[in-house]
Structure 1
Amino acid sequence: MIYQRPPLRPRQALAFEGQPIGSVEVAVAQHLQAHGLLAADGAGWRVAAPFDALAHALREASLLGAWRNEPLPVLTEAGQRVGLIERAAVRALGLATAAVHLTAQTPDGRTWVQQRAFNKPNDPGLWDTLMGGMVSAADTLAQALERETWEEAGLRLDQLQGLTHAGHLLIQRPSGGANDVGYTVERIDWYSATLPEGVAPENQDGEVERFDCVDLGQLRADIVAGRYTLEAALILAPDLIDGLTAP
């Protein structure tokens, strides 16, 4: 599935050693160029300094959200890893990221969901799939699935019944409000499973406010009411999202 929205303002291509890696707003690119970090490259820009220098310059210009001290891989359009960069900087540079989600049902067909902690920097208090997390620079997809399932839901994979890869979603959209210079490009792989009777999630990392089990009617009503993250809504009920397209 693909969910796509145009950027709020024009963006130009960003490349590293001749390979496309992202995009950047013109004013942001010119700011980085003035510090010797980007160079003009035809109709776009090329990286002319270490990636961590770009991240720190963006931070000093107050162009980033919360600094995470979490490196993410920098990937070319072909998926080749060419470096690492602080997580907070990926949206400003339009860099592609990867995430993993887990949906889970009860044996009688209800859906397990989580409410995100109110102190999370993104989508605080909104409802989400049972688990959703970023694939870090140190993770494979399988490792991220295992780690995030434990940290967010307190579950080991061998406790899940019928665990299967259920699909992938590509999201391309502005990453915040009108003053945000970021653009999200993220591939989400999601998995589905059943939690047996007597098995319930229990958060381990403080990033979940609470869990709930909901029937299909409540789930869809809450999605329509805007109580879920976009990612969760696209995974759990894509037919409710205006503008969703599938290849």
Structure 2
Amino acid sequence: MNAAVQPRSFGDWLASARQAAQQPPAQPRQALVVAGQVVGSVAEGFLNQIGRQRLMDKRYKLSIDEHFGAAAWRLDVPPEASVDAPTDALNALAAALRDEGLCGPWRDEQLAVCNPAGEVVGTVERGAVRVLGIATRAVHLVGLAPDGRMWVQKRSMAKPNNPGLWDTLMGGMVSAADSLPQALARETWEEAGLRVETLVGLQHGGHVDFSRPSREGGGAGYMRERIDWFRAQVPEGVEPANQDGEVDHFELLQPEGVRLRVAQGLFTLEAGLVIAGFLGM
């Protein structure tokens, strides 16, 4: 008679999750240079799948060239163009990718596009950031009840990514229009119906970095993201209430219950690693 299969431990999950969060690209990538500055990367040959004439019609040139001795894609704008030209060029490229079915879900949301020094070069549609290897930022909130239980959310089945999985009280992207505190406040209201000024002991807890292949663009994407997470207590008698339709429901769980569900793979990878950081692991 076979022995009962032992449930996976949180420690085992954590070791594999950390490895999964830091993975090399699935295929060789080439730098993406916009207005003379490196802002991301694309899978080798990926941009050959789109028509470049539509970019030329807007006076933007997309070409394969050399950058510090290696092949790179250049998206150039005319020297006399306005300061908004890199944004317009990036979004023209994103639209071309969308029309060929080569990017992620279109969100009508702009994310900042930065050079290696962290300086903003422009912005681009969120649906294109993974296939263009553009670094993004996100924010999570670990929400606690006064008795130490943790508020968690079950993601809506309509979510384009990780539908139906469990998540922290709040998790969302930092848009181009937001600072980190602004993103925290906006997402906390939209996802949980809570005002950050009403939370008790709000503080920054740490961050988690991701570099891993993405399924977007037919598997040609690459995720580069920093998640800053915060912790706070939700006051007694206050319950989160979703405002944007992206949460199925909320639950209050003991920390051990959260650990068990994380180890079972019921939480998103991002939320699981944030929770591990909160638990000091």
Give TM-score scaled by structure 1 length: 0.91
In structure 1, the partner of 2:111 is 72
Of 46, 50, 57, the match for 2:96: 57
Name the amino acid aligned to 1:22.
G
Give yes or no for the alignment of 1:41 onto 2:66: yes
Of 148, 152, 155, the match for 2:194: 155
Higher helix share: 2
In structure 2, the partner of 1:8 is 26
Contact map agreement 2:34 2:75 (CA 8 A) in 1: yes
CA distance in 2, matches of 1:177, 1:89: 9
Contact map agreement 2:65 2:73 (CA 8 A) in 1: yes
Deviation for aligned residue 1:239 = 10
Give yes or no for the alignment of 1:172 onto 2:211: yes
CA distance in 1, matches of 2:106, 2:217: 20
Distance 1:97-1:213 versus aligned 2 partners, 3 A rule: same
Of 37, 42, 51, the match for 1:24: 42
CA distance in 1, matches of 2:164, 2:215: 16
Distance 1:148-1:220 versus aligned 2 partners, 3 A rule: same
* Unpaired segments ≥5 residues, structure 1: none
Contact map agreement 2:36 2:76 (CA 8 A) in 1: no
Judge which range, 12-21 or 60-69, deviates more.
12-21
Cα RMSD for the two superposed structures: 2.2
- The equivalences for 1:194-213 within 5 A come to 194-213=233-252
Contact map agreement 1:74 1:85 (CA 8 A) in 2: yes
Who wins on radius of gyration, i.e. which is larger?
Answer: 2
Of 124, 127, 131, the match for 1:88: 127
Per-residue CA deviations over 1:89-112 (Å, capped at 9, x if unaligned) read: 010000011111100111121111
Give TM-score scaled by structure 2 length: 0.80
Contact map agreement 1:104 1:112 (CA 8 A) in 2: yes
Deviation for aligned residue 1:238 = 5.4
CA distance in 1, matches of 2:99, 2:35: 25
CA distance in 1, matches of 2:268, 2:123: 27
Name the amino acid aligned to 2:234.
L
* Unpaired segments ≥5 residues, structure 2: 1-17, 54-60, 78-88
CA distance in 2, matches of 1:158, 1:13: 42
Identity %, equivalent residues: 52
Deviation for aligned residue 1:33 = 8.1
Distance 1:178-1:84 versus aligned 2 partners, 3 A rule: closer
CA distance in 2, matches of 1:139, 1:203: 20
